């Protein structure tokens, strides 16, 4: 079933053009015509189409997940929230929202029940000023939906309400998946014992890429290598899960990991060092040209030095999307001759800046 739609996505401020390219690529794969509006600094992208096949979009999104868009939802066009009230009356934003939700619910592809309802806003200073409004509206909208029995925590889709500003909102739905957080922002606290804030990047990467499989894929007793380890933020995350870590860096480790019995510090160049026997995990946060890191990580996986890897690609200031695609192609070129099957995911995480984080795993044939 198709219906007129707007697609809205959240991203890091400054990466609107790249998030727009994510939407355009998914739309092309789903054979959907999409007109994308990407305004610099907005931290969101809105695209419109006369018809969107939601099932086709979901399939295309699963086959080619977005890199820069933190979250994507499909619904109707903008809803006006501030019609002039009667004299002495308060502005009623709940009624137009609920009316828009009811209209959406009439479409089979968006029909309730929904797993939950999230009221969200852009991740900008201006957007954060909307957080009191979102907090005020959320329980009232949720109450209306519960009264209609429109919410069920087992439902596959989530209702997302995006406050573009105090006057307009977009209402849509999206599949509820792991690594999915309100505003696309994980709720992670800086651990007291970690030596650097970079530790949050790896914690988020585990949640985003592994989801419910984290405890199965990251187990105590496994062996890992951390390339470019100093001062030890990523090593700290691995040690907390009981992995034995070889931390490779000419710089020194700091804090708890420096003396941890699970850590072996090797003072060497992470771009050239290799282990004597295969390890379960490779993690790499070396500041280097993206293509060089792509070659490095792909080589570790291709020759069996590591089974799984999480790594960062530091992007150039211009043509960032092109650089990501070049890295994907380079890694495929390294892995394809081995005849192996692999999983590669690239995503700009909330704790990333001018970079994307990658997950590469060699699948069992």
pLDDT digits (tens, 9 = 90+) for 292-308: 999 999 999 999 999 99
Mapping DSSP onto H, E and C, the string for the chain reads CEEEEEEEEECCCCCHHHHHHHHHHHHHHCCCCCEEEECCCCCEEEEEEEEEEHHHHHHHHHHCCCCCCCEEEEECCCEECCCCCCCCCCCCCHHHHHHHHHHHHCCHHHCCCECCEEEECCCCHHHHCCHHHHHHHHHHHHHHHHHCCCECCCCCEEEEEEECCCCEEEEEEEECCCCCCHHHCCCCCCCCCCCCCCHHHHHHHHHHHHHHHHHHHCCCCCEEEEECCCCCHHHHHHHHCCCEEEEECCCCCCHHHHHCCCEEEECCCCCCCCCCCCEEEEEECCCCCHHHHHHHHHHHHHCCCEEEEEEEEECCCCCHHHHHHHHHHHHHHHHHHHCCCEEEEEECCCCCCCEEEEEEEECCC
Q: What are 313's two structure tokens?
A: 């690609």
Residues 39-60 have pLDDT tens digits of 999 999 999 998 889 999 999 9
Q: What percentage of the chain exceeds 70 in pLDDT? A: 97
Q: What are 159's two structure tokens?
A: 């209702």
Cis peptide before 113 (omega within 30 of 0): yes
Q: Over the chain, what is the mean pLDDT?
A: 93
| pTM assigned to the model | 0.92
Distance CA 339, CA 363 (A): 11
Question: Which CATH number is correct for 2-184, 3.40.50.1820, 3.30.2130.30, 3.90.1150.10, 1.10.3080.10?
Answer: 3.30.2130.30
Buried b (16+ CB within 10 A) or exposed e, 23-51: bbbbbeebebebebebeeebbbbbbbbee
Q: What are 47's two structure tokens?
A: 């695209």
Distance CA 70, CA 184 (A): 5
Residues 231-285 have pLDDT tens digits of 999 999 999 999 999 999 999 999 999 999 999 999 999 999 999 999 999 999 9
Contact predicate 161/117, CB 8 Å: yes
Note the pLDDT of residue 88. Answer: 52
Contact predicate 236/193, CB 8 Å: yes
Distance CA 69, CA 67 (A): 6
Cis peptide before 231 (omega within 30 of 0): yes
Distance CA 310, CA 226 (A): 10
Contact predicate 224/278, CB 8 Å: no
CA pseudo-torsion sign 222, 307, 231, 219: negative
Q: Which residues does the annotation mark as catalytic?
A: 314
Pair type for strands 117-120 and 44-53: unpaired
Distance CA 74, CA 53 (A): 10
Contact predicate 244/275, CB 8 Å: no
Fold exhibited by the domain 199-362: Rossmann fold (3.40.50)
Q: What are 316's two structure tokens?
A: 């150039």
For the cut 70, the answer to whether the pLDDT of residue 350 exceeds it is: yes
For residue 22, which of 81, 57, 67, 86 has the smallest C-alpha distance? Answer: 67
Note the pLDDT of residue 90. Answer: 73
pLDDT band at 364; cut points 50, 70, 90: confident
Residues 69-124 have pLDDT tens digits of 999 999 998 999 876 555 555 778 899 999 999 999 999 899 999 999 999 999 99
List the chain domain ranges.
2-184, 199-362
Residues 92-106 have pLDDT tens digits of 889 999 999 999 999
Note the pLDDT of residue 1. Answer: 43
- Backbone torsion region of residue 86, taken as left when φ is above 0, otherwise alpha when ψ lies between -120 and 50, otherwise beta: beta
Length of the chain equals: 365
Decide whether 2-184 matches 199-362 in CATH topology. no
pLDDT band at 4; cut points 50, 70, 90: low
Contact predicate 279/225, CB 8 Å: yes
Note the pLDDT of residue 106. Answer: 92
CA 71 vs. chain centroid, Å, equals 7
């Amino acid at each position: 079933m198709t219906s007129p739609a707007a697609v809205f996505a959240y991203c890091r401020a400054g990466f609107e053009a790249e998030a727009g390219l994510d939407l355009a690529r998914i739309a092309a794969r789903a054979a959907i015509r999409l007109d994308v509006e990407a305004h610099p600094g907005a931290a969101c992208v809105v695209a419109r189409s006369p018809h969107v096949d939601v099932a086709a979009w979901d399939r295309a999104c699963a086959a080619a997940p977005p890199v820069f868009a933190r979250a994507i939802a499909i619904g109707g066009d903008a809803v006006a929230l501030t019609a002039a009230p009667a004299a002495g009356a308060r502005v009623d934003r709940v009624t137009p929202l609920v009316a828009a939700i009811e209209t959406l619910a009439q479409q089979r592809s968006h029909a309730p029940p929904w797993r939950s309802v999230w009221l969200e806003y852009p991740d900008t200073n201006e957007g954060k000023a909307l957080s009191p409004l979102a907090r005020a509206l959320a329980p009232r909208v949720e109450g209306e939906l519960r009264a209609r029995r429109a919410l069920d925590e087992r439902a596959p889709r989530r209702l997302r309400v995006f406050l573009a500003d105090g006057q307009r909102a977009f209402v849509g739905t999206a599949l509820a998946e792991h690594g999915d957080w309100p505003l696309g922002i994980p709720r992670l606290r800086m651990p007291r014992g970690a030596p650097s804030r970079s530790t949050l990047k790896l914690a988020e990467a585990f949640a985003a890429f592994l989801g419910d499989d984290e405890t199965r894929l990251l187990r105590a007793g496994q062996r890992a290598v951390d390339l470019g380890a100093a001062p030890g933020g990523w090593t700290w995350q691995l040690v907390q899960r009981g992995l034995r870590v070889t931390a490779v860096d000419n710089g020194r480790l700091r804090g708890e990991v420096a003396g941890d019995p699970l850590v072996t510090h090797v003072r060497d160049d992470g771009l050239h060092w290799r282990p004597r026997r295969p390890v379960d995990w490779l993690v790499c946060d070396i500041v280097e040209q993206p293509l060089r890191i792509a070659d490095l990580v792909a080589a570790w996986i291709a020759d069996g030095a590591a089974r799984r890897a999480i790594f960062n690609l530091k992007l150039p200031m211009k043509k960032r999307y092109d650089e990501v695609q070049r890295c994907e192609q380079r890694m495929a070129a390294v892995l394809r001759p081995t005849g192996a099957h692999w999983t590669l995911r690239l995503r700009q995480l909330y704790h990333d800046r001018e970079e994307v984080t990658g997950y590469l795993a060699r699948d069992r044939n």
